[in-house]
């Protein structure tokens, strides 16, 4: 990133939902991230692109600390979410996971009813600290499903098993079930790769609906999707951030030759 770009990103008085500093990450002896300094602006949709193995998913999974379960992961540097270091020993992991929701590549609704899927996290957190949606369970279900544009399709079958839904509906449900606990950040790891073009379009439409209320960080292999559905874009290569800028600028006038090559499909 050059200085002008950085300066452009910094205006006007940006708030960063996610800020990593000198983040290095190893899987065993393999280093997956090198000195990653990323500032993800609050309320925007930021996409991460780059060839497989470039570290974009690894970065994503570090933001809600789900990588740690693997055991052989070592991390140096820091990640701040809403100005707080999530790797601070004082931090409660459960709260990190609550504040930073994650959507996976394959929709993974729990094998319970649609309604119970939505209320699952709310029931876990309703009586504890932190913000959660207010209202009766029915209101919360309706509100969450409306936000993901799913309400009209499923309102008559809320008691049915969530696994009976189509993949597109399942993925929307997986997004909806994060909302009742009012997360600050939504992480999405290729959320559309299991969906057909129509499903992809529907999920992208929903991302625009959620824009502004949540900071969304989305990993994608689909260049067109990054271009359509994000406001800022991060290009990573071999564990390093090569370029980070406004999507429209990056796709029209990329600064680095590697970015240009990747975007135009010369490798990947």
Partner 1 sequence: MNTANPALFQASDLNRHNESVQRRYRLLFGLMTLLLITPVLLILGTLVAKGGGAISWEFLFSAPTDGMRTGGIFPALLGTVWLVTVALLLSVPIGIFAAIYLSEYAGDNWFTRIINLAIINLAGVPSIVHALFGLGAFVIFFKFGTSILAASLTLAVMTMPVVIVATRESLQAVPQAFREACWNMGATRWQTIRRVVLPNSLTGILTGVILEVSRTAGETAPIMFTGAVFFTPFLPQSVFDQTMALSLHLFVTATQVPGIEEHVPFGVALVLIGLVLTMNSVSIAFRMWLRGKKKW
Q: How far apart are the first and last CA of the chain?
A: 21
Closest by CA position to 110, among listed 66, 164, 179: 164
Indicate whether 91 belongs to the interface with partner 1 (CB under 8 A): yes
Residue span 204-243 as binding mask against partner 1, x where in contact by CB under 8 A, dash where not: ----------------------------------------
Distance between CA atoms of residues 51 and 267, nearest Å: 8
Nearer to partner 1, 45 or 81 (CB): 81
Binding residues for partner 1, total number by CB under 8 A:
22
Nearer to partner 1, 68 or 264 (CB): 68
Indicate whether 70 belongs to the interface with partner 1 (CB under 8 A): no
Indicate whether 94 belongs to the interface with partner 1 (CB under 8 A): yes
Question: Which residue stretch of 23-31, 52-60, 85-93, 141-149 sits at the interface with partner 1 (rule: CB under 8 A)?
Answer: 85-93
Distance between CA atoms of residues 70 and 84, nearest Å: 24
Q: How far is the CB of 140 from partner 1 (least distance, A)?
A: 18
Q: How many CB atoms lie within 10 A of CB 28?
A: 10
Of these, 3, 52, 127, 267, which contacts partner 1 (CB under 8 A)? 127
| CA-atom Rg of the chain in angstroms | 18
Dihedral Cα 202, 205, 211, 216, nearest 10 deg: 40
DSSP 35-56: EEEEEEETTSEEEEE-STTSSH
Nearer to partner 1, 125 or 227 (CB): 125
Note the maximum CA span of the chain.
54
Nearer to partner 1, 94 or 112 (CB): 94
- Please list every residue from 140 through 199 that binds partner 1, using CB under 8 A: 184
Of these, 17, 48, 60, 86, which contacts partner 1 (CB under 8 A)? 86
Q: How far is the CB of 209 from partner 1 (least distance, A)?
A: 25
Q: How far is the CB of 94 from partner 1 (least distance, A)?
A: 5
Distance between CA atoms of residues 163 and 54, nearest Å: 32
Indicate whether 129 belongs to the interface with partner 1 (CB under 8 A): yes
Of these, 96, 178, 186, 237, which contacts partner 1 (CB under 8 A)? 96
**185: CB partners within 8 A, 6+ apart:** 17, 18, 63, 81, 82, 99, 100, 101, 214, 215, 216, 217
Residues that bind partner 1 (CB under 8 A): 19, 80-86, 88, 90-92, 94-96, 99, 125, 127-130, 184
């Amino acid at each position: 990133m050059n200085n002008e770009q950085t300066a452009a990103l910094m205006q006007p008085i940006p708030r960063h939902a996610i800020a990593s500093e000198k983040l290095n990450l190893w899987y065993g002896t393999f280093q997956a991230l090198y000195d990653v300094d990323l500032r993800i602006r609050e309320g925007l949709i930021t996409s991460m692109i780059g060839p497989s193995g470039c570290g974009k998913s690894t970065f994503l999974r570090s933001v809600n600390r789900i990588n740690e379960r693997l055991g052989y992961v070592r991390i140096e540097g820091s990640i701040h979410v809403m100005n707080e270091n999530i790797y601070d020993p004082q931090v409660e992991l459960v709260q990190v996971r609550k504040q930073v929701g994650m959507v996976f590549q394959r929709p993974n609704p729990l094998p319970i009813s649609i309604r119970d899927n939505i209320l699952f996290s709310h029931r876990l957190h309703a009586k504890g600290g932190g913000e959660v949606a207010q209202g009766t369970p029915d209101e919360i279900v309706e509100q969450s499903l409306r936000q993901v544009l799913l309400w009209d399709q499923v309102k008559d079958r809320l008691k049915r098993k969530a696994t009976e839904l189509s993949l597109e509906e399942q993925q929307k449900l997986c997004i909806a079930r994060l909302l009742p606990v009012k997360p600050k950040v939504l992480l999405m790891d290729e959320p559309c790769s299991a969906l057909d073009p129509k499903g992809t379009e529907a999920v992208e439409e929903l991302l625009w609906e959620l824009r502004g209320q949540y900071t969304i960080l989305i990993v994608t292999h689909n260049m067109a999707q990054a271009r359509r559905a994000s406001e800022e874009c991060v290009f990573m290569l071999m564990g390093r951030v090569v370029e980070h800028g406004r999507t429209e600028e990056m796709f029209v006038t990329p600064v680095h030759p590697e970015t240009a090559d990747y975007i135009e499909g010369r490798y990947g």
